[in-house]
Structures are given as structure tokens and as C-alpha cells.
């Protein structure tokens, strides 16, 4: 068999960001191992040797094959990070917590950069490109969602550096392991939205899930964390088992692993035939797996406990990054059914029902929470319900006046675009909210709402940013959250689901109460004085301000982002 190096390198390029993340994981472990043995002579030899070998290898391949590839800068960058960090670590011993954090942040930033380049190439191109024999699909939709996951990783890695329970004595608290799991989860999520192949979907979903379970349990010594991890693992395994059974039915009948081909097969299938019944079971079971990740209501049990018990950066990642990619794969799955007149209406009503129940439950349960993270857990359930509104309209089918038969509606893209915009806005505001929780918890040593009393006056900048995030989460202009809700509601109304939009509107009013409660507590005058004099974290505050700025920016100028979302939705192809 003769090899075509150029095709290998071309395919490698398409998954460049994920490769960088995998490289980041390896570098994290290498740095950690190096730090263990840094007093031994061998590490003095090994560190330069590894660096040199990697650089030489990277130089050698293009030199010998004569192919110009621009994948190497990133790997060169990572190798350089490895070298610099190991040497700097030797020089400044006290700065332990920065070392793994720096590696992860740089890795995530490089991946984001690469995704940006890929986005520039892909947007405006229209047609999707395939690589790895059709396993990886490169389109604007995928790139956008991968970008969301990657940005989440970047921000949450940054948060991790400042997260107090992992801050003191980072060696014992496993910052390296934590960041590696975070990066691996992000890589899994990015693969998840980059593929249409059931096998690869399952593998990347497992990478995402497994690393999530691990992260949740990494606050050692905290019983809530261990309990949350166990609950997440058990519920998650059951959900993933159901999903796998659904996949096996889909594969077993269609003989295909690629989603579009399964979709074609579905359309030839009479619905009430035995095969049709089993395929329905397969589709529903697959969706139950995604619904679990999305915390839609019958599958939400785990969310509050996990969100409360997990380290806060993990909670942020689960509520934003994990949710974004799960929505992504769900939309891809739904897209498989779009051409199908027989299947979709039933699913639409199921989704509408799930949306109503999910947001109502999330909001009502959030009303009387005392723990900030738990409250945001329930609020995250509610937001999944709002986003589902856009998914419902995706499926709008209309009666053809001429024949009286159902035909495809014209609102497809709108619902998708609304969901994508919502996900982007949710990234800004929810990551910001969790960052603020980290910042405030560092000062009070607790995550109870009561304990942030009056803290807004102590840290006015962060307090102000937190207020922006809360406004945005409620959906009050001029914030990104307002337009996110606006687009989703409008899609629902245009799609003939006026009642759904009304229910969502009532829910928004309910959510006002608990978001307002946090804001009021933050700026109460008679603040308690029981603060730790925590070390100042200006760099954390800076990121929060940046996120708040983004929230406001997209609340004033949503047009461009909306266009990007619409184009990404179009790139799914119809």
C-alpha cells in the first residue's frame, strides 16, 4: 500500500483544533511528570531532548516530503510551551498553580486561533467538505459549535487558575489532571459536532461524558463532589446505554452509520411497519441520550446535584460547552428527519411538550434555592427549555393548499439560527455568571446566596458585571440574552407556536424573581463583614469584564452574530 502524505496532512488540518487539544493534554502530563522528577539529573536531560526531538520531527516531515503544511506552527508552539514552562518552572518554584494553567490556556487559545482560521475559510464557502473518509464533516455549523466549545474551554481553564479549592497546593489538588480532563472533554465535544458517523459520535460523546464524570469528582475530600460524580456516572451510563441501543437499532436496520444515509433510509420506511416501529424506538432512544446531556426534564435528575457538587469551572463547562455541542449533535440528528413528512410532526409535539415542562420546572425549582451553583443549575435547565423552542420550530410543516398534504415549511433555518445565537449568548452570560460565582466564593469561602450580601459594594466592577450577566440571563435589553430570547420567541411565533412563546414569556417573568434576588443581595447596604481577605484576582475580574462587554456588545449589535448563526444554519444544507 502506498501512502499519500499530502492527503494525510490535509485531513489532519481539518481536525487541527482537536489535535492541538490532544497535544495540550500530552504536554500537560509531560510537564507534570517533569515536575515530579525535576531534581533528578535525568529530567535535565529529558526535557531538552523531548523538545528537540519534537521540533526536529516537525521540521523533518515537511522537509522530506516537500509538502507545505501550516499545522506545524501550533505543534511547534506547544513544544515551545513545554520547553519554556519547564525551564520557567525551575526558575520560579513558587508559581506552581500557573504552570498547568498556562499550558492549558495557551493550548486552548491556539485551538481557538486555528478554528478562527478554519472559520474564515469555511464561512461563505457553502458546501461542506469531508475528511477522514467521510468521518469528519467540515461546515460552518460544525465550526461555529466547535468554536463555542473551544471558547468555553479557554475561559474555564482560565477560571481554573483562580478557583480557590484548587489553588492552594495545586499538586495535591490535581490541577493538571483536572485541566487534562477539561481539555479532553472539550476535544470530545468538538469531535462530536464535527462528525455525522454514529460510531464516531458515540466515541466522542463518551470522551466528553467520561471526562465530565471525572472532572466532577475531582474535588477530593468534598463529599458532595464525590456524590455528584457517582450520580452523574450512573445516570450517564444508563442514558448512554439507551442511546447506544438506539444507535444499534438504527444501524441494524439501515446498515449505515452516517446520519444522512440513515435519514434517506428512514424516508423509504413505512412508519407502521414493524421496522418503522423499531426505527422509531431507535430514534427516540438516541434522542433520550442527547436529552440527558441537555438536562431536558425527564432526564434532568442529575443536573442540580452535579452542578452544585462539581468544581465551579466544571459546572460552567457542563452548562455551556457540553450543552452547546449536545444541541449541535441533536440538530444534526433532527436534520436527518427534515425531509420526512411522516416522522417529524410527532417529534415536534414531543419537543414542544419537553420545552414547556423543562423551562417551567427549571424556573419554578430555581425560585427557592439558597446555593448559587444549584440555582444556576436549575436556571440552566430552564434555558435548555428556551433553546428547545427554536428546535421545535425547526420542524415546522405546513399544509400545501393545493393538495392538502403536508409539505416542508419555510421556517427551518430560522429556528436553527435562533438556537445557535442563543448558544453563543448563553456562553457569554453563563460563563460570566459562573466566573462571578468563583470570584465571590473566593472572597466569602461559600457559595450560598446569603453570603454574597453586600459584596457588590466591595468589588464594584465584578458586581456590575454580574448584574449584566443576570440581566442578560433574564432577557432584559440591552443584553445579548434579550436578543437570544427574542429570536427564539419570534421563531416560535412564526412557526405557529404562539402558545409556546406565551408560556416562555411567563417563564421569563418567573425567572426575573430569582435573578433579581441575587442582584439585590449583591448590593444590599448592610453587608456582613465576614470576608476573607482573599488574594486579589484582577485577571479573573478582567475576563469577567470582557465577557460582560461581549454580552452588552451583542445586545446592542446582534446583527453580525445573527448573520453568522444564519449562515451556519444554512450550511447544514437545504
Chain positions contacting another protein, by CB under 8 A: 1, 3, 7-8, 11, 15, 22, 25-26, 29-30, 32-33, 35-40, 43, 93, 96, 132-136, 169, 171-172, 174, 177, 180-181, 184, 187-188, 191, 199-200, 203-204, 206-207, 210-211, 214-215, 217-218, 220-221, 229, 251-256, 265, 273-275, 277-278, 281
Cell numbers for 345, please give them.
410532526
Please identify, using beta-carbon distances, which residue of 227 and 448 lies nearer to another protein.
227
Give min distance, CB of 60 to another protein, in A: 13
- The values of phi and psi at residue 384, to 5°, are -60, -35
Q: What per-residue string of b and e applies to 530-563 under the rule 16 or more CB within 10 Å gives b?
A: ebeebeebeebbebbbebbebbbbbbeebeebbe
The residues near 305 (Cβ < 8 Å, ≥ 6 apart) are 224, 227, 228, 231
- Asked if 451 contacts 373 with a C-beta cutoff of 8 angstroms, the reply is no
> Residue 131 pairs with which residues in a beta bridge?
136
Nearer to another protein, 43 or 117 (CB): 43
Q: How many CA atoms lie within 13 A of 475 on its CB side?
A: 23
User: What residues have CB less than 8 Å from 324, skipping those under 6 apart?
Assistant: 145, 148, 149, 152, 189, 423, 426, 427
Tally of CA atoms within 13 A in the half-sphere of 484 that contains its CB: 32
d(CA 346, CA 443): 50
Report the C-alpha gap between 558 and 548 in whole angstroms. Answer: 15
For residue 296, the minimal CB distance to another protein (Å) is 20
Q: Which CB sits closer to another protein, 7 or 528?
A: 7
Q: Which is nearer to another protein, 37 or 559 (CB)?
A: 37
What is the rounded CA–CA span in Å between residue 46 and residue 534?
38
- Min CB(234)–another protein separation in Å: 13
Please, are residues 82 and 104 in contact by the beta-carbon 8 Å criterion? no
CB of 515 to another protein, least distance (A): 34
Is there a contact between 58 and 76 (Cβ–Cβ < 8 Å)?
yes
| Cβ at position 463, least distance to another protein in Å | 35
Q: Output the smallest distance, CB 339 to another protein, in A.
A: 19
- Of the pair 8, 486, the CB lying nearest another protein is at 8
Question: Least distance from C-beta 121 to another protein, angstroms?
Answer: 20
**Phi, psi dihedrals of residue 524, rounded to the nearest 5°:** -65, 145
What gap in Å lies between CA 402 and CA 404, rounded to an integer? 6
Q: Given the complex with another protein, which of 181 and 470 has the nearer CB atom?
A: 181
Nearer to another protein, 123 or 251 (CB): 251
Kindly tell me which of 326 and 472 has the beta carbon lying closer to another protein.
Answer: 326
What's the closest the beta carbon of residue 473 comes to another protein, in angstroms?
Answer: 31
Least distance from another protein to the Cβ atom of residue 423, Å: 24
Q: Which is nearer to another protein, 245 or 531 (CB)?
A: 245
Amino acid at each position: 500500500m502506498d501512502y499519500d502524505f499530502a492527503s494525510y496532512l490535509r485531513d489532519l488540518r481539518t481536525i487541527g483544533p482537536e489535535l492541538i487539544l490532544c497535544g495540550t493534554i500530552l504536554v500537560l502530563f509531560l510537564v507534570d511528570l517533569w515536575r515530579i522528577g525535576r531534581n533528578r539529573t535525568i529530567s535535565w536531560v529529558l526535557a531538552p531532548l523531548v523538545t528537540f526531538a519534537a521540533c526536529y520531527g516537525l521540521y523533518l516531515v515537511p522537509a522530506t516530503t516537500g509538502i507545505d503544511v501550516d499545522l506545524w506552527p501550533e505543534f511547534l508552539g506547544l513544544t515551545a510551551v513545554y520547553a519554556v514552562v519547564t525551564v520557567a518552572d525551575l526558575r520560579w518554584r513558587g508559581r506552581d498553580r500557573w504552570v498547568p494553567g498556562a499550558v492549558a490556556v495557551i493550548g486552548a487559545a491556539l485551538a481557538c486561533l486555528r478554528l478562527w482560521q478554519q472559520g474564515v475559510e469555511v464561512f461563505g464557502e457553502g458546501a461542506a467538505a469531508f475528511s477522514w473518509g467521510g468521518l469528519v464533516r467540515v461546515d460552518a455549523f460544525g465550526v461555529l459549535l466547535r468554536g463555542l466549545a473551544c471558547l468555553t474551554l479557554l475561559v474555564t481553564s482560565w477560571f481554573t487558575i483562580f478557583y480557590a479549592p484548587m489553588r492552594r497546593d495545586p499538586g495535591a489538588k490535581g490541577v493538571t489532571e483536572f485541566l487534562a480532563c477539561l481539555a479532553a472533554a472539550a476535544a470530545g465535544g468538538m469531535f462530536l459536532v464535527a462528525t455525522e458517523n454514529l460510531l464516531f459520535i458515540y466515541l466522542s460523546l463518551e470522551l466528553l461524558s467520561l471526562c465530565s464524570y471525572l472532572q466532577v469528582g475531582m474535588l477530593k475530600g468534598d463529599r458532595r463532589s464525590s456524590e455528584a460524580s457517582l450520580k452523574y456516572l450512573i445516570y450517564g451510563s444508563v442514558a448512554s446505554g439507551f442511546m447506544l441501543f438506539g444507535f444499534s437499532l438504527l444501524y441494524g436496520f439501515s446498515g449505515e452509520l452516517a446520519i444522512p444515509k440513515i435519514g434517506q433510509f428512514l424516508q423509504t420506511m413505512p412508519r407502521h411497519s414493524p421496522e418503522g416501529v423499531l426505527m422509531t424506538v431507535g430514534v427516540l432512544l438516541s434522542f433520550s441520550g442527547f436529552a440527558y446531556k441537555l438536562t431536558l426534564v425527564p432526564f434532568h435528575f442529575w443536573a442540580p446535584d452535579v452542578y452544585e457538587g462539581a468544581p465551579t469551572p466544571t459546572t460552567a463547562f457542563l452548562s455551556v460547552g457540553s450543552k452547546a455541542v449536545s444541541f449541535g449533535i441533536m440538530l444534526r440528528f433532527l436534520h436527518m428527519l427534515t425531509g420526512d413528512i411522516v416522522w417529524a410532526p410527532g417529534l415536534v409535539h414531543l419537543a414542544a411538550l419537553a420545552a414547556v415542562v423543562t423551562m417551567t420546572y427549571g424556573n419554578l425549582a430555581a425560585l427557592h434555592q439558597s446555593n448559587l451553583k444549584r440555582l444556576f443549575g436549575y436556571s440552566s435547565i430552564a434555558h435548555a427549555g428556551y433553546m428547545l423552542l427554536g428546535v421545535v420550530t425547526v420542524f415546522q410543516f405546513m399544509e400545501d393548499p393545493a393538495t392538502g398534504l403536508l409539505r416542508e415549511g419555510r421556517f427551518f433555518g430560522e429556528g436553527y439560527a435562533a438556537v445557535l445565537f442563543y448558544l453563543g449568548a448563553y456562553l457569554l452570560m453563563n460563563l460570566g455568571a459562573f466566573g462571578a460565582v468563583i470570584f465571590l466564593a473566593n472572597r466569602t469561602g461559600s457559595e450560598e446566596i446569603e453570603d454574597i450580601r453586600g459584596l457588590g459594594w466591595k468589588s464594584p466592577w465584578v458586581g456590575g458585571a454580574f448584574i449584566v450577566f443576570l440581566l442578560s440571563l433574564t432577557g432584559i435589553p440591552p443584553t445579548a440574552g434579550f436578543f437570544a430570547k427574542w429570536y427564539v420567541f419570534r421563531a416560535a411565533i412564526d412557526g405557529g407556536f404562539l402558545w409556546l412563546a406565551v408560556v416562555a414569556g411567563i417563564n421569563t417573568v418567573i425567572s426575573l424573581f430569582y435573578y433579581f434576588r441575587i442582584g439585590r443581595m449583591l448590593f444590599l447596604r448592610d453587608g456582613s463583614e465576614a470576608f476573607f481577605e482573599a488574594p486579589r484576582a484582577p485577571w479573573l475580574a478582567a475576563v469577567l469584564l470582557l465577557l460582560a462587554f461581549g454580552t452588552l456588545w451583542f445586545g446592542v449589535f446582534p446583527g453580525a452574530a445573527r448573520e453568522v448563526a444564519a449562515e451556519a444554519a444554512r450550511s447544514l444544507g437545504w
